Amino acid sequence: EVQLLESGGGLAQPGGSLRLSCAASGFIFSDEAMSWVRQAPGKGLEWVSVIRGDSPDTFYSDSVNGRFTISRDNSKNTLYLEMDSLRADDTAVYYCARGFRWIDYWGQGTLVTVSS
């Protein structure tokens, strides 16, 4: 059974940093592209970033490019999202997700709140 478990969410100050983690199980992690998708309270889904399965290629939405860094440790089956220079409009539930062109599995999400 595929499982994706996010952690690391919480309260951060504007301009601050936060690191999200996603522990994956139930599939060959290194074979799959992994994405982060976020959803602001009461709003729609927004794709944030993707990292290829077996290469260092990473891509970002314009809204986070230069501030967020996606990475993975295939030996630990773990996906990360390093978030710097956080802004109020980064407040959202962040989902760890398997895939890119379509996403077939989603985690339960972790809430990030940016506020002073």
Partner 1 sequence: QSALTQPPSTSGSPGQSVTISCTGSSSDVGTYDYVSWYQQHPGKPPKLMIYEVSKRPPGVPDRFSGSKSGNTASLTVSGLQAEDEADYYCSSYGGRNNLVFGTGTKVTVL
Kindly state whether residue 24 participates in binding partner 1, applying the rule CB under 8 A: no
Give Rg (Cα) of the chain: 13
Question: Token pair 């390093």 is at which residue?
Answer: 82
Residue 38 burial (CB count, 10 A): 22
Choose between 17 and 33: whose C-beta lies nearer to partner 1: 33
DSSP 31: G
Kindly state whether residue 27 participates in binding partner 1, applying the rule CB under 8 A: no
Kindly state whether residue 8 participates in binding partner 1, applying the rule CB under 8 A: no
Tell me the one-letter amino acid at 6.
E
Partners of residue 98 on adjacent β-strands: 34, 105
> Whole-number minimum distance, CB 52 to partner 1, in Å?
10
Which 31-90 positions form the footprint of partner 1 (CB under 8 A)? 35, 37, 44-47, 50, 59, 61-62
Residues that bind partner 1 (CB under 8 A): 35, 37, 44-47, 50, 59, 61-62, 95, 100-109
